[in-house]
Amino acid sequence: MAFDELKSAVPDFAKDLKLNLGSVIGNSDLPKQQLWGTVLACAIASRSPRVLRELEPEAKANLSAEAYTAAKSAAAIMAMNNVFYRTRHLLSDPEYGTLRAGLRMNVIGNPGVEKVDFELWSLAVSAINGCGQCLDSHEQVLRKAGVDRETIQEAVKIASVIQAVGVTLDAEAVLAE
């Protein structure tokens, strides 16, 4: 199992990450589609080839074709939106916030899966990419849909651990060269 290989690749100095990886994925209370869609979207967002290579097969095996595509779509659209909206938020000139975005985001309205799942994946990717405006927006949609804070936090925990594992393994690969 690639997931076990990924855990075993985490170095001893990052034992907490190894334990957390096992916990947030192996002991998650999220439904299978929410869990593995979050894992896949976050593995893509982590930009770590190793993490994506190791987690993608299990995600694909646990997701329908539609959910697999939607999770990849969440990572893709949020890669764009997180840069755009984070930049608008960070610019000191508030007039940028009044300008029309003019970017296509059709997948958000029709993701091919339950809207709540797509929103959860988008929130997790936004956590990795550090877009506060997107985090707030997706969290509000999720809360209005009845999603509890614990579920939202679960997705953020998955995002944080996958990102940390990716950073650690990629750094170790560079240092080993």
Residues annotated as catalytic are 131, 134
Taking phi first (over 0 means left), then psi (-120 to 50 degrees means alpha), and beta for anything else, what does residue 112 get?
A: left
* Sequence-separated (6 or more) residues with CB below 8 Å from residue 148: none
What backbone torsions phi and psi does residue 90 show, to the nearest 5 degrees? -80, -25
Is 6 buried (19+), middle (13-18) or exposed (0-12) by CB count in 10 A? buried
